[in-house]
Structure 1
Amino acid sequence: MKQQNSKLSTPISRDKGRKILFIGGIIVILIAITPFIFYSYKSFPEDSNSWETSFFTINTSYNSVMHLAWYVSGKAVPLLLLFIWFFTCKHWWHWIILVPLAMYSFQLWGIINESGGFDEVELIYIIPLMMVLVPIVYLIRAKLFSRIRGNDLEEFEEELGRKRTIWHQIMDLFR
């Protein structure tokens, strides 16, 4: 008589299943409390641009500490949600989420540094990231569709090497 291996009969061990449920529960709680995190700016002082507590002091050049908290929460909450989406997404295209992640990160950095001109220059910093990520994601997509269609990579490389007008290249993107 053959004995079954218990690891083969259960796809996920009990400890690993508990760990997955625990991490999933934390993610659900984080997503559920994002409205409270966003509206937490209302608890900051509205009439002063400095705030003293027994642990720290915040001085800002914005109109008030509440304005600073509003700016930070307006960038931190989408950044948190994008991080969760990036780390939990199992699709092949999840790397492109790095573009809005970088955008919100640069915006938040500008707010924290109180550069004054936030939401203006982050595009300059994101363009190099986009120049790397967008072609890589598009090539991954092209290779996946090539495999699905049954084309081999030699045919794919031949197609990339052909001289075409810009109009033909644009039309090929939408076929």
Structure 2
Amino acid sequence: MKPAAVLEYVSQNVRAYRSLKGLSQQQLADLAGLSRRMIAGVESGQDNISLAKLSLIADALGVDFAQIIAAPEQQGQAVVNALAWRGAQAQSVAKLLASVPAAQKVELWAWSLAPGEQYCAEPDPEGWREMLYVTEGELTLDLAGKLQAMQAGESAVFSSTAEYRYINRSRQPVKFIRNVVY
């Protein structure tokens, strides 16, 4: 999937779900706790929004996060292999590997970060947890200022209700699997 396609799907989906709900951009912004300008940027396909803010929009619209990033042919189905975030460098991506409705929500992601790249996450709602497993390279996990270096083959579980970052401080790409449970 081309990087532009991700923003295009998000743009189309947010606009379509907002219209279905009969909401103005300002009303959606208020419900999501964001600015109208941010909603307008997302709907125009110009803003590469953070995953946490995109999740706030999905919650405000009453849809699953996966429905916001899904290609048109995936709507209403399980979402598999959807590119959801791209960093400044082509090697830095977050791909939602699979998402299906369940009593609790579980998401499986494949991540890679180029050397020197990082992803800064905003706190998730209460009750969210993440599980990481490093498959290649070294990942530095910053949990509210506490750094933890993780090598290939190592894993971590943490509450994602505080700010956290994924950082690649090495000279090689890092790849890891991320499960989100809420």
Q: TM-score, normalised by structure 2?
A: 0.26
Larger Rg: 1
**Greater percentage in strand:** 2
Name the structure, 1 or 2, with higher relative contact order (CA <8 Å, separation 6+): 2
**Greater percentage in helix:** 1
